Chain A
Amino acid sequence: GQNIDQPTEMTATEGAIVQINCTYQTSGFNGLFWYQQHAGEAPTFLSYNVLDGLEEKGRFSSFLSRSKGYSYLLLKELQMKDSASYLCAVRDSNYQLIWGAGTKLIIKP
């Protein structure tokens, strides 16, 4: 079956750096996405990786290793507003998005 694993919850300190990992087993691979979702709101797009390596976008970076079925989202200079759930999603060979359960990130002052 298809599976996306990411930690349920993480806690970090304002101003620090946090890495959220995502591992996947899917039928084929056509890209990996990270979305941010604040409580009670719809997800918003953060990043897209289809090739191995690091994609940097401001304070957020996303890394992909297709051979390992692994990705991480790196958040730097954490701000209180970064408290949210972070969803990892993989597009499989049928171009269907398979969603992880999300990682709830708690930022403490």
Chain B
Amino acid sequence: GAVVSQHPSWVICKSGTSVKIECRSLDFQATTMFWYRQFPKQSLMLMATSNEGSKATYEQGVEKDKFLINHASLTLSTLTVTSAHPEDSSFYICSARDQEGGDTGELFFGEGSRLTVL
């Protein structure tokens, strides 16, 4: 199956700093990538849809100025958590859909990035 790589897998930072998370599709081109956040024992919450070459589409309640998304190429999307605070501590996961060969809608997920803000 298609491979999505996410980096870093975990990061600890001080409050007020910014953290960048990268999401790469390794063996396919992804015009669309999705960014999720997952708090402990809760389901995935879609934060935004990242579109290559255009602005991301944010879900209601997600601050676009705080969670900056850039999708500069067909294989890379980045999420930057600006001025991170402890309440931003969470598991951030990206996913992409390989749209070639039909659409079962299967999403391929990155490994996830666990952010801890001190």
- Interface residues of A, Cβ cutoff 8 Å to B: 30-31, 33, 40-45, 48, 87, 91, 95-97, 99-102
Q: How far is the CB of A57 from the nearest CB of chain B, in Å?
A: 12
- Beyond known contacts A42-B93, A45-B107, A95-B105: 6 more, CB 8 A cutoff: A30-B105, A41-B111, A42-B95, A43-B93, A45-B108, A97-B105
Q: How far is the CB of B29 from the nearest CB of chain A, in Å?
A: 19
Q: Are A97 and B43 in contact, with the CB atoms below 8 A?
A: no
Q: Are B43 and A41 in contact, with the CB atoms below 8 A?
A: no
B6, B107, B111 pick with most chain A CB within 10 angstroms = B107
- Interface residues of B, Cβ cutoff 8 Å to A: 1, 6, 42-46, 91, 93, 95, 104-112, 114
Decide if the interface of chain A is mainly helix, strand, loop or mixed: loop
B42, B44, B46, B93 pick with most chain A CB within 10 angstroms = B44
